Amino acid sequence: TDARRVHTAPARTLFLLRPLPILLVTGSGYAGYRQYEKYRERELEKLGLEIPPKLAGPWEVALYKSVPTRLLSRAWGRLNQVELPHWLRRPVYSLYIWTFGVNMKEAAVEDLHHYRNLSEFFRRKLKPQARPVCGLHSVISPSDGKILNFGQVKNCEVEQVKGVTYSLESFLGPRNSMEDLPFPPAPPPGSFRNQLVTREGNELYHCVIYLAPGDYHCFHSPTDWTVSHRRHFPGSLMSVNPGMARWIKELFCHNERVVLTGDWKHGFFSLTAVGATNVGSIRIYFDRDLHTNSPRYSKGSYNDFSFVTHTNKEGIPMRKGEHLGEFNLGSTIVLIFEAPKDFNFKLKAGQKIRFGEALGSL
């Protein structure tokens, strides 16, 4: 009897160690450790010390990508379209406004009862003249948001935040299937940057704008240009907030995104809408064939669509400030374009910016 009691006690203890509690405890411990690290970084930054980015390891990225964010985002999208009872709309939207600092005085319709569901509230329009378009500068901000990074593209690497880069070719995709663009293809021996720069003496520039959940979710044309090609990358829907951008290298290359390419008066121009968690829906107003976060597309692939046809040999002309598309919730816009060497950004890293304000000019 004594021997049986000794042997059954450990078995009973092991039986209580269920996988779910272990997973919850482990995950909570890791999340707490990450929050502590972020707290230490903020304290050191207050002291004026520059903190080198600590990048996620391959196993951490793989673990994050294993989370079914695409499925969760589709579920969130359907939930957003559920019509709320009239009596529930004001408290729900008021909580969102308070949480994310939404300025409803700018909305075309301030009455919260007007919005039947969360999706309509996220995609609310602005009052006329709420965002005057700057006419003095050649490139304006296509959206509200926060400037994460900007400057010249060097060594075919682009900074998503300071010190953390991603490959230009991985982000835009190969150039060999884009012969229908109006600018001539570059010779194969050149670097990927040289394939995009079409005029001698020009440089390649980039600008990254992060849209927070409380920002205006539509985006507009940043300049006068012609869109000739669309490339859709199905991918993960990881968070793209600045903290995550400092942690995961090539975050924007992992995520679902829509790349619009074409040309403006100085050569190559592109605007990329990057998806994020709960932002599986990226809509381009003139592109009815685009379906993002769809189960028909698998990660790691891409699909192309040309706006240049036999009847339309130029593409889709866009005027500066014209409506271009919209997100659900918030995400990131990346501009990559060619311009002369004397192009100057009128920005500071980390500053808040609104649609219509100047990004830069010659």
Tokens of 34: 């990450």
**Catalytic: 304?**
no
Spatial CB neighbours of 296, under 8 Å, sequence gap ≥ 6: none
Mapped onto helix, strand or coil, the DSSP state of residue 161 is strand
Return the closest-CA partner of residue 220 out of 131, 88, 298, 301: 131
Of the candidates 221, 239, 270, 331, the residue annotated as catalytic is 331
Which residues lie closer than 8 Å to 26 by C-beta, 6 or more apart? none
Please say whether the beta carbons of 213 and 124 come within 8 A. Answer: no
How much helix, strand and coil, in percent to the nearest 5, is found in the chain?
30, 25, 45
The rounded distance, in Å, linking the Cα atoms of 268 and 195 is 10
Q: How far apart are CA 362 and CA 357, in angstroms?
A: 15
Whose tokens are 């808040």? That residue is 352
Cβ-based neighbour number of residue 180 at 10 Å: 14
- Is 66 catalytic? The answer is no
Residue with tokens 């009239």: 86
User: Which is it for the CA torsion 270, 290, 108, 83, positive or negative?
Assistant: negative
Catalytic one among 73, 144, 229, 236? 144
Per-residue tokens: 249? 């290298």
Please provide the distance, in angstroms rounded to a whole number, between the alpha carbons at the two ends of the chain.
90
Kindly name the residue from 137, 206, 217, 220 that is annotated as catalytic. 220
Which tokens in the block code for residue 109? 């319709």
Distance of CA 228 to CAs 128, 175, 206, 233, 271, Å?
Answer: 29, 14, 19, 17, 12
Tokens in use for 99?
A: 């949480």
Show contacts of 110-114: CB within 8 Å, 24+ apart: 113/86, 113/89
Respond yes or no: is residue 331 known to be catalytic: yes
How far is it, in rounded angstroms, from Cα 240 to Cα 261? 22
Active site residues: 144, 220, 331
